[in-house]
Structure 1
């Protein structure tokens, strides 16, 4: 029996194609792949990514690392400049004690000192985060050597350097962000070498900048795309994924035609409320490419179709593409899995195992 709407569904055929395409592209370029599992938070998907050749997984929090490590997916990079308090130090120490291979981000000498104070030297590795133009976290590229040298002096293994070109999440920004990342990482690698530290890993990438990054001459040895395994309306709108690549949708029932529009039983509590300034709506309909979600509340999504278009009938089910798949997945306990997106019945369900593991 199909679950009651609204629910999130994975098109297994499309997802497997996305995994294979990404893995093949990285292999052809001689790059390691460490996909960001915060997108899906599912053990089953992580296993498929590793089986396709990924060297390990990226996560955002210690909690996510704990979930994947407990399932045996234990080569993990926490791509975040962690401020290591006593509780996090104990948790990271336990992960190392049970055999997990853990590295974390640092972007300051003070951050390195917290790793040392937590007794983690020799137990986990670090990667120095640099700012490649997104202007969120990360030190200036030229300061990477100072941070790395401080870690080495403290007896901490410096695995390498990483960046996140988040400004690729903008119209016509993908190529520029990829080029900015290459420039910043080149400076950072030189700074580290000048400080006597040779990075073994130079890590970058995002889903929107992935193809552009592959085309550049770069010091990058590893890429960390996340969203591309499932896709979302942002990637569709940016042009980094086609509608035929979208593997996750929200199945929603048409409950009203009020005002000549579609009113669906899927609101922000299942779709998420993200809407970038450049986005044309709060989501899209996979099978009605010109439709947009124009109004979103907790349990309602209102979609407009072009004038004169026939509305799907009351009681019918449509497939909504959330704007941001990572936040949508974190709102549900499980994903329904269909062999093909148009199948009526799911073949199984997957638990969103790392849901809510935000610390």
Structure 2
């Protein structure tokens, strides 16, 4: 990423050429495999990016929270899947009923109790939403065993909820070993195949079968899965680059940071910290972020407003005042900390995009 001159740092920058290339490649890969693409918007939280994904051919958007769904629905995104099972109280029930009036809404369930509560709070609006049963394919987070999908579907239907299929998240594909991503994709297929059989035994025919993630994108193959929900691919990040799911040229987002101190030959300090990059560590990244201009340097320490960097042995530290790009370990948390993204093309600022769903976590 070429950095503009005269930047006030720190700032989050988006390379629009890399971004649009990432969107196009993922859409083409999904189409070639016969998959519907429903990208996860929690990675970018940005209306301008969502619209680009939809124009490229995405069927709709995935979101993590009800608040994210409200932001994108208010902006005209009409097909949304909230991929986190919710415990719906009265206030969330009111919000869901309003949201269902303005968008085609798909919701997640992974327990009979949650389904009954959802049906109770939706009331007469329950028939206006669709429900997917979440199954666990190995990440051991939320989700029922695949053999229990049909039983949960019956419970959900008894609560007045139309069940249209199942979904999972192969999050255990985040590994440096390329074989792990292949195994996660096959786990996803196996578990969803079992869930589909269980759903069909319960009378759910021609179901939506939804999976996919950015790390497992290269392992997709036509078959049981008919919808995919990758998210990070729009930007990629230091973790994706480290595990080999993208190249340096595919990194579309970075924080611009200035060298503010060179206190010793073995370290220099940048004016960017956890309040910009996020605090995520990564078992696959050597430090607390990646510097494309100094790929062998390591960010050894991260404070709220400081990043301490160790240059590679034999390399000199950059001079104070030098502006560098820092790619976050986990792009989703970095974006959620920013008010806006500075959009650049060939090193020239061309736009500013608000992070419209920043902090929309409830």
- Aligned pair partner of 1:74 in 60, 78, 83: 78
Which residues in structure 2 correspond to 1:314-329 (within 5 Å)? 314-329=320-335
How far the C-alpha of 1:43 sits from its partner, in A, is: 0.1
The separation in 1 between residues aligned to 2:264 and 2:296, in whole angstroms, is 18
The separation in 2 between residues aligned to 1:105 and 1:335, in whole angstroms, is 30
Q: Which moved more, 1:287-296 or 1:146-155?
A: 146-155
The separation in 2 between residues aligned to 1:268 and 1:199, in whole angstroms, is 46
The separation in 2 between residues aligned to 1:281 and 1:235, in whole angstroms, is 14
Aligned to 1:144: 149
Contact 1:252 1:320 in 2 (8 A): yes
The separation in 2 between residues aligned to 1:232 and 1:111, in whole angstroms, is 34
Instruction: Report the secondary structure of 2:20's partner residue.
Output: helix
The separation in 2 between residues aligned to 1:189 and 1:13, in whole angstroms, is 39
Give unmatched runs, 5+ long, in structure 2: none
- Aligned pair partner of 1:352 in 348, 352, 355: 355
How far the C-alpha of 1:86 sits from its partner, in A, is: 0.9
Contact 1:9 1:336 in 2 (8 A): yes
The separation in 1 between residues aligned to 2:206 and 2:217, in whole angstroms, is 22
Aligned to 1:101: 104
The superposition leaves residues 151-195 of structure 1 with CA deviations (integer Å, 9 ceiling, x where unpaired) of: 223331112110001111122121111111111101100111111
The superposition leaves residues 321-345 of structure 1 with CA deviations (integer Å, 9 ceiling, x where unpaired) of: 00000000000100000013xx1x4
- Aligned pair partner of 1:127 in 121, 126, 132: 132
Give 4+ residue runs of structure 1 displaced > 4 Å after superposition.
Answer: none
The superposition leaves residues 278-329 of structure 1 with CA deviations (integer Å, 9 ceiling, x where unpaired) of: 4311101022221221110010001122111132221010000000000000
Contact 1:287 1:318 in 2 (8 A): yes
Instruction: Report the secondary structure of 2:320's partner residue.
Output: coil
Aligned to 2:202: 195
Give the TM-score taking structure 1 as reference length. 0.96
Aligned to 1:210: 217
- Residue 311, structure 1, aligned to residue 317, structure 2: yes
The separation in 2 between residues aligned to 1:2 and 1:61, in whole angstroms, is 37
The separation in 1 between residues aligned to 2:213 and 2:333, in whole angstroms, is 16
The separation in 1 between residues aligned to 2:291 and 2:63, in whole angstroms, is 29
Instruction: Report the secondary structure of 1:72's partner residue.
Output: coil
Aligned to 1:182: 189
The separation in 2 between residues aligned to 1:162 and 1:231, in whole angstroms, is 23
The separation in 2 between residues aligned to 1:92 and 1:278, in whole angstroms, is 39
- Residue 88, structure 1, aligned to residue 92, structure 2: yes
- Aligned pair partner of 2:303 in 297, 300, 305: 297
Give unmatched runs, 5+ long, in structure 1: none
Give the TM-score taking structure 2 as reference length. 0.95
Aligned pair count reads 353
The separation in 1 between residues aligned to 2:152 and 2:223, in whole angstroms, is 22
Superposition CA RMSD, Å = 1.2
Aligned to 2:242: 237
